[in-house]
Structure 1
Amino acid sequence: MNEQRVSQPPGPRAWLGLLVTLGPVLLVAMDGSVLFLAMPKVTEALSPTADQALWTLDIYGFAVGSLLVAFGNIGDRYGRLKLLMIGVAAFGIASAGAAFAPTPELLIAFRALMGIAGATLLPSALAVLSELFTDPRRRARAIGIFAATFAAGFAIGPLVGGQLLSRFWWGSVFLINLPVILLFLILAPILLREVRATRPGRVDPLSVFLSAAGLLPVIYAIKHAATEGLTVGTVIAGVVGLAGLVWFARRQRSLEHPLIDFSLFRDRVFTIAIITGLLPLAAWSATAYLAGVYLQSVHGLKVLDAALLTIPGALVLTVTCIVTPSLVGRIGKRAALITCHFCVAAGLLLLLLLPADGSGGTGWYLASTIVAGLGYGISFSVVADTAVAAVPPERAGSAAALAETSNEIGNALGIALLGSLATLFFRLQGPDLAGTLNETLQIPDLVPAVISDAKSAFVTGLHVVAVTAGVLHAALGVLALRWLPKSLSDADDAGDAGGAGDAGAESPARIADGETSGVR
């Protein structure tokens, strides 16, 4: 794209183009969480095993996260609008397939295809916005709206899923995507223009393969060990996956255009920012899923009532995401990042007050989501800008790509790792009749004592997850307090390698720029 183009005020076409582009962005984010309240219904219909249920939830996030950077580079080379159109169409086809999947295996496969398609949407959509908004200030505003939409999608996913499930069958949570996708395919060719980077980097196919071939066996080993115990196959899968990840990391150091530039992690500010992108999403996804099961299967709420309880937390998260950029100008990014982690830790620890018999748990659940929602909203708002500001301008693209990827991988890792931890405790302390609480409760003629034991074991697992994630957030808050300079513009003076100092004020513009695209 032409970097010397004259900045002009955006007209109606630009704002309509933004509105149309936000549709797929909202869907990609929403589909990362829309199943949290739907899993009891999916379990009733398809009877997945414990590890199949976890794969159904997190394969989507793994596919998005592992391919996000690669598709950013592909869009640079072959055209972002073209890739965006293909990705949206594929997302719609995969959504329809998931809605009518007759078996857990097919549902997992279609969720994986949705994730692959979703990985094409985020980087391409962000880059296309740079063509619509050539003025840096308005472009930054458009990118802020983009980020807020993405955050809102994660937050309202359970609510949308619950509303649909109260009226329709479980597959409706995927069919809701189709009208938005159809509208985009009709309007996008009219409102949007093709965008290519001036100097696109080469995509390394082996790195793309190793990132997935290393991560997925490790996650499989963790899940299988949690649900079935250690076996020879589990150990082999874990070792093979770890070897693949080591090979991937070593290969990135020798590439001119690596998928992940590990040298960026020498900067403490950048490292804190990326972990802040990953850990809150991991905590949020795991506890949102487990709390959804708690509200329905332990507390006994209908799915619509459980969905309504997610509204206050979702509102707090979304509003916080919107107002945080203005507050950061007053309190600074350091204070925002520290507040983020301590708020999430406090909110998660409130889940310890959820009782095993389900009585009176809704009030503590609401308090937890509201307090933690403040931290989640801050995380969504400041991570990308902080990461980009911590590195030199010529590396802004890699920094922004890692910030986006950390969100998606965090969402998937939360279900995979923390969800497996909850499953492990249910297996060890439960009645040992089935792998999950929902499967156990479906067994006919259960005596009350067995039901009580099953619910108690599930709540124990939920409490362990809340404590684990809460302690990690508190520890990261303390680390941020010690590592982050009082002013992030003084990062270089604080001894951080490669800091860019005050580049943060211009980072949104740099992210969208054709040369240092934030999606590469």
Structure 2
Amino acid sequence: MDTSTENEVPARAGRREWFGLVVLALPALLLSVDMSVLFLAIPHLTQDLQPSSTQQLWIADIYGFMLAGFLVTMGTLGDRVGRRKLLLIGGALFGAASLLAAYATSPEMLIAARALLGVSGATLAPSTMALISNMFKNEKERGTAVAVWSSCFMFGGVLGPIIGGLMLSWFWWGSVFLLAVPVMVLLLAAGPSVLPEYRNPDAGRVDLLSVGLSLLAIIPFIYGVKEYARGGWSATAVATLLAGVVFGVLFVRRQRRLDDPLFDLGLFRIRVYRSVVVLGLLVGIMMSGSLLLINVQMQMVEGLSTRAAGLWLVPGVVATLIALMVTPKLGQMFRPAYVMAAGLLVTAVGCVVLSQVPSDDGLAMIVIALILINIGLAPLVALGYNMVLGAAPPEKTGSASALSEANGEFGLAAGIAILGSIATAVYQDRLSLPAGLPADAAAAARENIATAVETARGLGGSMADDLLTSAREAFTSGLNLVGLLGAVLFTAIAVLTVVWLRQVPPTQDPEAKTEAEADPAEATA
């Protein structure tokens, strides 16, 4: 007679699982580094490869487009063919594409390599998150594992400019892509022995039409948002956005008709999963735009180099790492919704500080604001990912985590477009041009602060000083307004977090049942 019960406490992870976590965390670190390091290399590779302005944009953007476009497909594919198998295949392709990019001899070759990096990179994030759910069945340990993974992903964004700046000081531009090679070699060497394999034995075939529809929905939509961020409502931006929406509707309709869809829309009937995805999108929109403006403020207003700006981000990242490590303990003591809401209120306070940054000697306030903002976001990142993995059925965690990652890409593009547009409108409204400024110089200065700074360098004298002062004050006004909007939005998100997720119990009791689990009608509300 089987005496086990469904409430049996899951077994604790062993040494193999924790070493496997290290192997999984390194690709997360690498992905984040790879997203940020290219921007440092663009001036160097431009001198060597001589790409056109259009080719430069594709070199910078194609990675993100392909990554976002293939995330849902790769997450679902991992559930079907095996998460470890897909991770190892993707790691091998990522390493090969990195070599191809490092030794590219033409813009077209580099664009193709970056596209392959995006496709292979789409296999890494959802596979690593899904494998974490397989390796750490105990909810407390899974929370710690997610915190470690999140720390690596967040730290890589700051580590990228620092490492990239050092490597570009010593080596050629292609060296920044070679960072991936030893990491992928380690993944391929250690992965088969320390990572478990898991796939859904009942999964059917991958619907290729659904794959095509998902790509035609995601890539044009993100492209359209980026086009809007660059030049406003152009014909290209409107057409691609509409195309993305139309194909998105077709994708959803097809998923509803299929017995074995590419993405199970039923995941959105799980209240916890649905709530975390929406909250993550709102936070992503706010943070991506804010961080872009903060980086511009550091370089164009405070006058820091890219490397120096990266170093000033380190205190905020260190604070984030500490907060991520503390968060799982807090989630065991209190309901996660309250921990997350408290963190979001701390982030709101950081945004208030950001709203008071002056245009002269404001670096200290920026660093303080970043520390508060990053500390406050840590609970949502760590506990939110853990909720996603815990709420999704085991056979669908790859698909569920893939959507969470794709959600981040949508938030990144939308945040830059929306908040960037707000800041630009304030800048143009507040900019006061010096008397006697030539018409062509005035037109350039009105575009954005970067062109204003470049214009001032060509003027010299008191007119240049007046233009710089006015441009910096105007841009800072935009940053201040975004900070104020952030304070309001994060306070609202904190309230939504409590309203939507207060039924989730502390993770210290893995046997506890949420109110949603006790009442199936509530779980699907």
Q: TM-score, normalised by structure 2?
A: 0.77
* Deviation of the 1:285 alpha carbon: 3.0
Residue 90 (1) aligns with residue 93 (2): yes
* Alignment-derived partner of residue 441 in structure 1: 453
Unaligned segments of structure 1, at least 5 residues: 1-6, 502-520
Which amino acid in the other structure matches residue 127 of structure 2? S
* Deviation of the 1:11 alpha carbon: 6.2
* Deviation of the 1:485 alpha carbon: 3.8
* Partner SS state of residue 253, structure 1: helix
CA distance in structure 2 between the aligned counterparts of 1:276 and 1:104, rounded to whole angstroms = 39
Listed one character per residue, the Cα deviations across residues 77-110 of structure 1 (whole Å, up to 9, x for unaligned) are 3333332222112222333455566888876654
CA distance in structure 2 between the aligned counterparts of 1:398 and 1:451, rounded to whole angstroms = 49
Higher mean alpha-carbon deviation, 176-185 vs 433-442, is at 433-442
* Deviation of the 1:317 alpha carbon: 1.3
Higher mean alpha-carbon deviation, 404-413 vs 99-108, is at 99-108
* Deviation of the 1:314 alpha carbon: 0.7
* Deviation of the 1:10 alpha carbon: 6.4
Counterpart selection for 2:244 from 241, 245, 253:
241
* Partner SS state of residue 477, structure 1: helix
Structure 1 residues 494 and 374, CA, compared in 2 at 3 Å: closer, same or farther? farther
* Deviation of the 1:383 alpha carbon: 1.0
Structure 1 residues 226 and 428, CA, compared in 2 at 3 Å: closer, same or farther? farther
Residue 286 (1) aligns with residue 289 (2): yes
Residue 30 (1) aligns with residue 42 (2): no
* Partner SS state of residue 353, structure 1: coil
Listed one character per residue, the Cα deviations across residues 467-516 of structure 1 (whole Å, up to 9, x for unaligned) are 44443322222333444446555543998845299xxxxxxxxxxxxxxx
* Alignment-derived partner of residue 161 in structure 2: 161
* Alignment-derived partner of residue 508 in structure 1: none
Conserved in 1, the CA contact under 8 Å of 2:29 and 2:156? no
CA distance in structure 2 between the aligned counterparts of 1:167 and 1:386, rounded to whole angstroms = 38
* Alignment-derived partner of residue 363 in structure 2: 362
1:91-490 matches, within 5 Å, as 91-99=94-102, 110-128=113-131, 133=135, 136-137=137-138, 141=141, 144-166=144-166, 168=168, 172-189=175-192, 191-192=194-195, 194-266=197-269, 268-356=271-359, 359-387=360-388, 399-419=400-420, 421-422=422-423, 431-433=442-444, 437-442=449-454, 445-446=458-459, 447-485=464-502, 490=514
CA distance in structure 2 between the aligned counterparts of 1:101 and 1:236, rounded to whole angstroms = 33
1:42-61 matches, within 5 Å, as 60-61=63-64
CA distance in structure 2 between the aligned counterparts of 1:174 and 1:274, rounded to whole angstroms = 32
CA distance in structure 2 between the aligned counterparts of 1:156 and 1:449, rounded to whole angstroms = 38
Structure 1 residues 467 and 230, CA, compared in 2 at 3 Å: closer, same or farther? same
Listed one character per residue, the Cα deviations across residues 419-447 of structure 1 (whole Å, up to 9, x for unaligned) are 45545655676654275544553455133
Rg larger for: 2
RMSD after superposition: 4.1
Conserved in 2, the CA contact under 8 Å of 1:58 and 1:411? no
Structure 1 residues 468 and 457, CA, compared in 2 at 3 Å: closer, same or farther? same
* Deviation of the 1:13 alpha carbon: 4.9
CA distance in structure 2 between the aligned counterparts of 1:114 and 1:429, rounded to whole angstroms = 41
* Deviation of the 1:335 alpha carbon: 0.4
CA distance in structure 2 between the aligned counterparts of 1:437 and 1:102, rounded to whole angstroms = 34
Listed one character per residue, the Cα deviations across residues 135-194 of structure 1 (whole Å, up to 9, x for unaligned) are 733x96367325422333223422341243156256554332222223333443455565
Which amino acid in the other structure matches residue 349 of structure 1? V
Higher mean alpha-carbon deviation, 218-227 vs 489-498, is at 489-498
Structure 1 residues 294 and 236, CA, compared in 2 at 3 Å: closer, same or farther? same
* Alignment-derived partner of residue 516 in structure 1: none
Conserved in 2, the CA contact under 8 Å of 1:62 and 1:409? no
CA distance in structure 1 between the aligned counterparts of 2:514 and 2:361, rounded to whole angstroms = 48
* Alignment-derived partner of residue 523 in structure 2: 499
Structure 1 residues 426 and 43, CA, compared in 2 at 3 Å: closer, same or farther? farther
Which amino acid in the other structure matches residue 144 of structure 2? G
* Deviation of the 1:327 alpha carbon: 0.6
Which amino acid in the other structure matches residue 168 of structure 2? F
* Alignment-derived partner of residue 513 in structure 1: none
Listed one character per residue, the Cα deviations across residues 375-423 of structure 1 (whole Å, up to 9, x for unaligned) are 2211111113334555777876654554444344434443454345545
* Deviation of the 1:364 alpha carbon: 1.2
* Deviation of the 1:458 alpha carbon: 3.7
Conserved in 1, the CA contact under 8 Å of 2:345 and 2:491? yes
Conserved in 1, the CA contact under 8 Å of 2:62 and 2:114? yes
CA distance in structure 2 between the aligned counterparts of 1:193 and 1:494, rounded to whole angstroms = 32
